[in-house]
């Protein structure tokens, strides 16, 4: 219970006059699913951007299993098995679904610089890619161009790219946005299954409250760049402050 | 099915086409005059330059307006070596290496930037090479350039490259090898990495790949291909002048590549041939060939857009033959052949 | 000492022409998102048209300038409406090839219309003569150029900062959709901005012909310098374009004086140094 996989101390980030993140202290526990919720503009995506190396904090430190990763660039973080998905679609549109997953797997196996062999000749890569495609239920669409998939399928692909490097810590930014209920349920199932099978620690930013409450072991609530409170789903549901922030919304 | 019928199965058509073309290229000298041989050689060399542009543009999403600079490095490098030591292979290899080294150094400045900046900076650096070629009289011969470059021998005196026909075969073989390696490259994991960078820069970092280093690698390889083109040109023309480094010279392969189609392997090759032939024909009719060429380019670009001729051809070919390329071995449908 | 000042002023004069072309390039890019390689050719047309109106037709100098601006503005309008609008959303390669084709076409058209020989214009009577600066005679016309350049900088700044048109332009540059949602007619705005950009470059060309020749190929030469200026100053940034032009112009002038051998490629060295120290340009923003 006292194990901590990610530790954040005193994180601050401003854009000009606007303070997006105002002193965040956080200790994430491993092997559970944590959700981050909060109204729009609370700083949830900014927080993920800061952790995943896309933005640099002005102040504060981030520790992964005790190691300081505050200023590491994204590609080095991935090598440490920390990955993320994006709120705005970020797949490779002109590549096929298969190739979208093939890339991170090639990179994981250190084969992405090979220049003479055909990409498809590497059987270990192909096997792994098919496995992942099956997990996100996109195996039958593997030769389609990613840009031509439906929105829901693209979200699944997005998820697939994030989990392809077999991460220890994975940040999902609104994985079910724009999906209908059955698709969201599929995503829920997938995250739960991966968390148990691959022992991945997931941190999920979400607006869909049903998803959040059925998925999470732990919930962090953010508002205006700070962490308002955190706790188990039951506690959060009862919390007065949280109710106020989500004024009128059904928790 | 008879063997011939098997060859005509839709999937095999590209293969048949390429083999026929290669055979054709090998037998051309038997029934054409010197000028035709010279033209075909020039097209082959220009194709290599277009491949260089497209490695950066079509596959990695970087538009370089300065490849002529590396072409010049290869040409001058080869020329200088041949003037001192008239052996063809060291000259060619030397030219390629020099171009590669310069690309590596200049690339360091360029690859941190994206598209627009990259285009402007490469244009500027290409012009810097031009300016250096013009100014450093002692080394480069200044505005008059390097002259009297020998079409040197290949290892032994009996393999004399002086006759146009002999040199043609040399250029043809080297070009085919280079194109084969290029084909392997763009279908390899590294090629996939390049395409990933083109499609989504932010995503590619999330797969654990360093954008900057990979781009630098791409830039260096592209520089070497441009250098190869220049190095092959030097003994052909027996003279190298600074004008081959000017940004106007960089713009031609870009235009040719886009007309041919930047998202296919064959696109730059087709574009090279078309562009070169167009220019050759138009020049004979009017001194205002830039005007006509410009108008044609504008028409082609506005109608074909990013697909280019090869892209449009492919699409119509596929739909007409009702080809289905999905199936075994995870064949890709974006970049074909 | 006086040599330094004199050379500095000479460099400043050259910088002003660069500034005008770069300003046009920056506005075209910042607002319309088009990197217009043909912008240098618009500068060239500025020179040619002034030659036609002032020298050939003998019209009043100021009237000639006005007519030149209108003429090149029209050319810019045709370019934008007919050819650039369809390709706004295409990848940058397409834009550059298209605008580059215009360079070919315009260069040959210039040869057709005015012949291959370079032209120059007689200095207008009221600008003849020199004034003494630090004891040396400095052409009055050059002082006029420097003044005009600075005045244009102020004018453009005021235009973009204070007028409704200017603010719309800045808003559209930042967020096209938002601006159009606010009722701004994007298409007209873009055309207007491009015409304005063309006119600025044409002004540079027009003012240059009493001092320098204009001929085919001038456009290609000056656009390279404008690119370097833009990279040094920071893309899409008018302040950067101005400062960049000053640096390139003045350093170039001193280089001609002290190290003539480097004169042709000193600007590339400056660019390389800036790229090393501050890759996004002096006033550029980090992406």
What's the mean pLDDT in B276-295?
A: 89
Q: Does A162 touch chain B (CB under 8 A)?
A: yes
pLDDT at position B329 is: 32
Q: Which residues of B touch A173 (CB under 8 A)?
A: none
Contact A143 B208 (CB under 8 A): no
pLDDT at position B324 is: 39
| Per-residue 3-state assignment (H helix, E strand, C coil) for A140-191 | HHCCCEHHHCCHHHHHHHHHHHHHCCCCCEEEEECCCCCCCHHHHHHHHHHH
Q: Does B293 touch chain C (CB under 8 A)?
A: yes
Give the list of residues 6+ apart from residue A197 with CB closer than 8 angstroms, or none.
none
pLDDT at position C179 is: 67
pLDDT at position C277 is: 85
Distance from the first to the final alpha carbon of chain A: 27
Pick from A94, A118, A161: CB nearest B195: A94
Chains B and A touch, contact meaning at least 3 pairs of CB atoms under 8 angstroms apart: yes
Query: Can you tell me whether residue A30 is helix, strand or coil?
Result: coil
Task: Judge whether residue C187 has pLDDT over 90.
Answer: no
Task: Judge whether residue B181 has pLDDT over 70.
Answer: yes
Euclidean distance between CA atoms A236 and A186, whole angstroms: 25
pLDDT at position B335 is: 40
Q: Does B124 touch chain C (CB under 8 A)?
A: yes
Contact A98, B328 (CB under 8 A): no
pLDDT at position B332 is: 39
| Residue % of chain C over a pLDDT of 90 | 39
- Domain C2-277 in CATH 2.60.40? The answer is no
Task: Judge whether residue A8 has pLDDT over 80.
Answer: yes
What's the mean pLDDT in C48-61?
A: 89
DSSP H helical ranges for chain A: 44-51, 74-79, 97-108, 123-135, 151-163, 181-197, 209-215, 233-238, 240-245
Q: Does C261 touch chain B (CB under 8 A)?
A: yes
Contact B196 A92 (CB under 8 A): yes
pLDDT at position C106 is: 93
What's the mean pLDDT in C108-130?
A: 87
Euclidean distance between CA atoms B45 and B38, whole angstroms: 11
ipTM: 0.86
Pick from A53, A102, A108: CB nearest B192: A102
Contact C101 B298 (CB under 8 A): yes
Interface test with C, best of B116, B202, B256, B292 (most C CBs within 10 A): B116
A6-90+151-245 CATH choice from 3.40.47.10, 3.40.50.300, 3.40.640.10, 3.40.980.10: 3.40.50.300
Entry field: residues in chain A: 251
- Of C167 and B1, the structure prediction assigns the larger pLDDT to C167
| Residue % of chain C over a pLDDT of 70 | 94
Which of B240-244, B250-254, C128-132 bottoms out in mean pLDDT, i.e. has the lowest? C128-132
- Of A207 and A161, the structure prediction assigns the larger pLDDT to A161
Both structure tokens of B29:
């000298």
Euclidean distance between CA atoms A237 and A235, whole angstroms: 5
Q: Does C277 touch chain B (CB under 8 A)?
A: no
What's the mean pLDDT in B251-280?
A: 91
Task: Judge whether residue B4 has pLDDT over 70.
Answer: no
pLDDT at position C184 is: 67
Residue numbers of B between 238 and 267 with CB closer than 8 Å to C: 247-248, 251, 254-255, 258, 262
pLDDT at position B325 is: 37
**Global pTM value:** 0.86
Strand A6-15 to A18-28 pairing: antiparallel
Domain ranges of chain A: 6-90+151-245
pLDDT-derived band at A184 (thresholds 50, 70, 90) equals confident
Contact C35 B120 (CB under 8 A): yes
- The per-residue pLDDT of chain C, averaged, comes to 87
Which residue in this structure is represented by tokens 């994991």?
B189
pLDDT at position A244 is: 77
pLDDT at position C109 is: 92
Chains B and C touch, contact meaning at least 3 pairs of CB atoms under 8 angstroms apart: yes
What's the mean pLDDT in A172-200?
A: 85
Domain ranges of chain B: 32-246
Task: Judge whether residue C199 has pLDDT over 80.
Answer: yes
pLDDT at position B183 is: 93
Q: Classify the phi-psi angles of A108: left when phi > 0, otherwise alpha if psi is within -120 to 50, otherwise beta.
A: alpha
- The per-residue pLDDT of chain A, averaged, comes to 86
- Of C246 and C124, the structure prediction assigns the larger pLDDT to C246
Pick from A96, A113, A161: CB nearest B334: A96
pLDDT at position A198 is: 82
pLDDT at position C243 is: 93
pLDDT at position B323 is: 43
Domain ranges of chain C: 2-277
């Amino acid at each position: 219970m006292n194990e901590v996989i990610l530790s954040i101390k005193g994180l601050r980030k401003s854009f000009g006059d606007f303070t997006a993140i105002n002193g965040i202290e956080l200790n994430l526990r491993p092997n559970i699913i944590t959700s981050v919720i909060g109204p729009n503009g609370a700083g949830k995506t900014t927080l993920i951007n800061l952790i995943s190396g896309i933005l640099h904090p002005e102040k504060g430190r981030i520790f992964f299993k005790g190691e300081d990763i505050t200023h590491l660039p994204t590609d080095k973080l991935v090598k440490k098995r920390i990955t993320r998905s994006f709120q705005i679609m970020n797949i490779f549109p002109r590549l096929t679904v298969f190739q979208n997953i093939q890339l991170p797997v090639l990179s994981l196996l250190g084969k992405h610089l090979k220049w003479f062999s055909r990409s498809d000749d590497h059987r270990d890569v192909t096997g792994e890619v098919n496995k992942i495609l099956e997990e996100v239920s996109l195996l039958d669409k593997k030769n389609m161009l990613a840009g031509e998939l439906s929105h829901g399928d693209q979200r699944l692909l997005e998820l697939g790219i994030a989990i392809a490097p077999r991460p220890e810590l994975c940040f999902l930014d609104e994985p079910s946005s724009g999906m209908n209920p059955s698709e969201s349920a599929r995503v829920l199932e997938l995250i739960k299954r991966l968390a148990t099978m691959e022992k991945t620690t997931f941190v999920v930013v979400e607006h869909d409250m049903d998803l959040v409450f059925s998925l999470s072991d732990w919930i962090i609530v953010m508002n205006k760049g700070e962490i308002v409170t955190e706790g188990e789903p039951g506690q959060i549901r009862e919390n007065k402050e949280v109710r106020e922030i989500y004024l009128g919304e059904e928790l | 099915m008879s063997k011939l019928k098997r060859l005509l199965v839709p999937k095999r058509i590209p293969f048949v086409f390429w083999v026929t073309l290669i055979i054709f290229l090998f037998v051309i000298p038997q029934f054409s005059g010197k000028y035709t041989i010279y033209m075909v050689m020039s097209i082959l060399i220009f194709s290599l330059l277009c491949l260089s542009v497209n490695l950066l543009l079509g596959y990695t999403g970087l538009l370089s307006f300065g490849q002529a600079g590396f072409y010049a490095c290869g040409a001058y490098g080869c020329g200088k070596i041949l003037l001192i030591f008239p052996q063809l292979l060291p000259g060619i290899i030397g030219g390629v290496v020099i171009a590669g080294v310069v690309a590596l150094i200049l690339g360091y400045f360029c690859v941190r930037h994206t598209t627009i900046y990259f285009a402007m900076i490469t244009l500027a650096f290409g012009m810097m090479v031009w300016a250096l070629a013009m100014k450093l009289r002692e080394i480069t011969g200044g505005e008059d350039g390097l002259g009297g470059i020998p079409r040197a021998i290949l290892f032994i005196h009996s393999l004399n490259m002086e006759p146009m026909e002999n040199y043609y075969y040399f250029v043809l073989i080297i070009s085919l090898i280079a194109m084969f390696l290029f084909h392997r490259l763009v279908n390899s994991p590294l090629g996939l990495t390049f395409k990933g960078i083109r499609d989504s820069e932010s995503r590619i970092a999330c797969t654990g790949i360093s954008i900057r280093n990979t781009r630098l690698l791409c830039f260096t390889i592209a520089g070497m291909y441009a250098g190869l083109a220049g190095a092959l040109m030097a003994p052909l023309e027996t003279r190298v002048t600074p004008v081959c480094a000017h940004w106007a010279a960089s713009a031609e392969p870009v235009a040719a590549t886009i007309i041919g189609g930047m998202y296919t392997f064959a696109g730059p090759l087709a574009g090279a041939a078309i562009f070169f032939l167009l220019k050759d024909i138009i020049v004979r009719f009017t001194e205002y060939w830039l005007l006509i060429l410009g108008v044609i380019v504008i028409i082609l670009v506005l109608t074909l857009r990013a697909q280019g001729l090869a892209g449009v051809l492919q699409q119509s070919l596929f739909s007409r033959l009702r080809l289905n390329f999905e199936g075994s071995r995870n064949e890709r449908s974006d970049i074909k052949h | 000492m006086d040599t330094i000042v004199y050379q500095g002023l000479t460099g400043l004069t050259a910088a002003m022409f660069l500034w005008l072309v770069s300003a046009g390039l920056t506005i075209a890019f910042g607002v319309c998102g088009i990197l217009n390689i043909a912008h240098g050719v618009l500068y060239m047309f500025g020179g040619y048209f002034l030659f036609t109106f002032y020298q050939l037709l003998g019209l009043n100098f100021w009237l000639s300038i006005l007519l030149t601006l209108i003429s090149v503005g029209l050319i810019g309008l045709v370019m934008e409406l007919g050819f650039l609008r369809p390709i706004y959303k295409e990848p940058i390669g397409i834009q550059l090839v298209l605008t580059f084709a215009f360079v070919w076409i315009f260069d040959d058209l210039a040869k057709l219309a005015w012949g291959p020989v370079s032209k120059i214009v007689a200095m207008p009577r009221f600008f003849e003569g020199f004034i003494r600066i630090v004891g040396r005679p400095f052409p009055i016309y050059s002082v006029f150029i420097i003044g005009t350049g600075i005045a244009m900088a102020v004018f453009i700044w005021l235009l973009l900062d204070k007028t409704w048109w200017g603010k719309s332009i800045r808003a559209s540059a930042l967020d096209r959709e938002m601006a159009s949602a606010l009722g701004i007619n994007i298409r007209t705005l873009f055309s207007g901005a491009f015409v304005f950009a063309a006119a600025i470059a044409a002004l540079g060309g027009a003012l240059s012909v009493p001092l320098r020749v204009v001929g085919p190929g001038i456009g290609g030469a000056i656009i390279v310098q404008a690119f370097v200026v833009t990279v040094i100053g920071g893309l899409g940034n008018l302040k950067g374009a101005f400062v960049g032009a000053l640096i390139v112009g003045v350093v170039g002038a001193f280089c001609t004086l002290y190290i003539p051998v480097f004169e042709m490629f000193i600007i590339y060295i400056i660019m390389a140094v800036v790229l090393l120290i501050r890759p996004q340009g002096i006033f550029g923003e980090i992406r």
